Amino acid sequence: MSSTRLTIAVPRGALFEETLDWLERLGFATGEVRTNDRRLLFADVGLITMRPSDVPTYVAAGAADIGITGKDVLMEQGGTINGSGRDVYELRDLSFGRCTMVVASVAGPDLAAEALRRLGVIRIATKYPRVAAAHFERTGRQVEIIEVKGSVELAPLTGLVQAIVDLTATGTTLRENNLVIRETIAVCTARLIANPVAHKLKATAIDELLERSRAA
């Protein structure tokens, strides 16, 4: 294993372009990554592309030395040594990809609050069951969490649940589905994470990258 060459996990999807812009400012060649949608491994420049939710898995296992993913992913997976987990180091808030984790429900009377008063429990749909459970536990409210994989906005519109926990960037999708934000859980941005072993063995390379990042 080279002590100077870093392998970096890059998230596809919403964070993709801004991550490549950040890497380009640090001197990485990203042209081939930008123009090739099907290729996943770019060994010549030390980049691996994948779903944001897979980044902590690859970094924790050592398949990548460092990676970029959203804070929402880290909150849900609980995988930071300096946070609530034990698998990766969270090195830096990169400040881009800003979204907000919220509790939302159908506009009008707050059906979640009404359900809590009448039944003592709220039904919540979410792609983030761990985040949702922790939030309502902190605030002393009992919830029944229904995990969904598709469009979470559909759940309260059909009466499946009284509210949702979801990530929103602009709030447009919520408004288009007649949903309003009731609570804000957390602001989420892109985070730089590192494998604990690589953080020691490749400390010089990682420190140099962080220094270039601060300068950029």
Q: What is the mean pLDDT of the chain?
A: 92
Q: Do 8-97+189-215 and 99-188 come out as alike in CATH topology?
A: yes
**pTM greater than the 0.85 cutoff:** yes
Overall CATH class of domain 99-188 = alpha beta
Say if residue 1's pLDDT is above 50. Answer: no
Q: Where are the domains of the chain?
A: 8-97+189-215, 99-188
Pairwise CA distance, residues 159 & 89, whole Å: 40
pLDDT in tens, 96-128: 999 999 999 999 999 999 999 999 999 999 999
pLDDT confidence bin for 87, thresholds 50/70/90: confident
pLDDT confidence bin for 81, thresholds 50/70/90: low
Q: CATH number of 8-97+189-215: 3.40.190.10, 3.40.50.2000, 1.20.1250.20, 3.40.91.50?
A: 3.40.190.10
pLDDT in tens, 124-154: 999 999 999 999 999 999 999 999 999 999 9
* Residue 184 CB neighbour total at 10 angstroms: 11
91: DSSP letter: E
